[in-house]
Amino acid sequence: MATNDNTPFCDICQQRDLNKLAEEFCPHCAEVLCGDCREHHKISKSTKSHQTISLEKYNKLPSFIKQISHNCQEHGCILEFYCKSHDSLCCKICSISAHKKCKEIIFIQDFLPPSKGHPSVALNNIEKILKNLESNISSAIKDRKRNLTGLREQKRVISEHIKDKRYKINALLDHLEEQLQQNASTLEKTNCGKIEQIIANLENEKEKVEDIQIDVESVKLFASNLQIFMGTKAFQERISTNEDNVQQLYDNGSLNNVTMTCTFNDKVEGFMKNIKTFGDVKIDKSQKHVSFSWKGDKSAQFYEPTSVLESI
């Protein structure tokens, strides 16, 4: 686009030394158009098949979608094909020259939906994966909050038990009681802090998912076919990062259920002189109370061709 978004003048008119405000953007031509030029654009034989969008809608697209070019940098032709073997876009000339022997060349127009009202299968799959990822994160957050509440309740109950035992012994054990209380408080504080950090990490991943969902929605509404085609790969990379981050928390034990229990020294009841501890407080992280459900096909091929061109 030749002008900045603050003063969008029609590119065609500017070539004629005219300054007319632009109303639409053509991704194929990478030009902004005023009302008159837009009408001519729609009826011109060479451009009538181009899909234009209003500048308002165009500005809502993610920045990486806007940067996707529709034309081949080497030949200047429209990028109409995707070579699965080389994982690259190609124009008609490229398909004849550099990709002549490639057997899996997809005609992009066959892969993409026929109209804006029918979003691509790839974006649908991304939305399903995002929905499942958001659900898994929400479940993990809920479980961590439950564990946080339970851990504090366990600390409260343990404290009551400790006091009950304390009242049954003489002042000689005051120091040992204080040590055990400090042990319980330290373990609670340490592990609650860890859980709170895990919740913060999960909240951050959830915000990332919500950002992607907003981008996906704007792409569905306003992106061109080629932008949708290339954008799905970028979305998948971002989602894979989210999934890996969340799965890593699951795999490294961050979502293991944390419980705190207390056991007392058998000799406390006998008031023996050699007692060194008032009891013990332990943390158990062996169990998980949450499970993930990855319903989306994370390994699915997003570029399944509806027609493969053996030769162009």
97 in any annotated domain = no
Task: Supply the pLDDT for residue 274.
Answer: 63
Per-residue pLDDT reduced to its tens digit, 136-167: 999 999 999 999 999 999 999 999 988 887 67
Q: Are residues 127 and 275 in the same domain?
A: yes
Domain residues for the domain of 271 are 121-287
- Of 32, 59, 86, the position where a domain reaches its end is 59
Residue with tokens 């946080």: 148
In a domain, 237, yes or no: yes
Q: How many domains, in total, are found in the chain?
A: 2
Least Cα distance to 279 among 154, 163, 191, 148 occurs for 163
pLDDT value at residue 270: 65
- The token duo for 40 is 């001519």
- 183: tokens are 């042990």
Model pLDDT for residues 48-72, shown as the tens digit of each residue:
878 888 888 888 888 888 777 777 8
Residue 42 belongs to domain with CATH number: 3.30.160
Q: In this structure, is residue 135 part of a structural domain?
A: yes
Boundary-marking domain end, from 59, 80, 95:
59
pLDDT at 171: 67
Domain with residue 261: its CATH number is: 1.20.1260
pLDDT of res. 218: 92
Chain segment 216-249, per-residue pLDDT in tens: 999 988 888 888 888 888 889 999 999 999 999 9
Note the pLDDT of residue 288. 86
If the chain, 312 residues long, is cut into consecutive pieces of 10 residues, what is the mean pLDDT of each piece? 60 89 86 89 84 86 81 81 86 84 79 55 82 91 93 92 76 78 93 95 94 92 87 90 93 93 76 68 87 66 44 38
Q: 70 is written with which tokens?
A: 């529709």
Residue 304 lies in a domain: no
Asked whether residue 47 falls in the same domain as residue 132, the answer is no
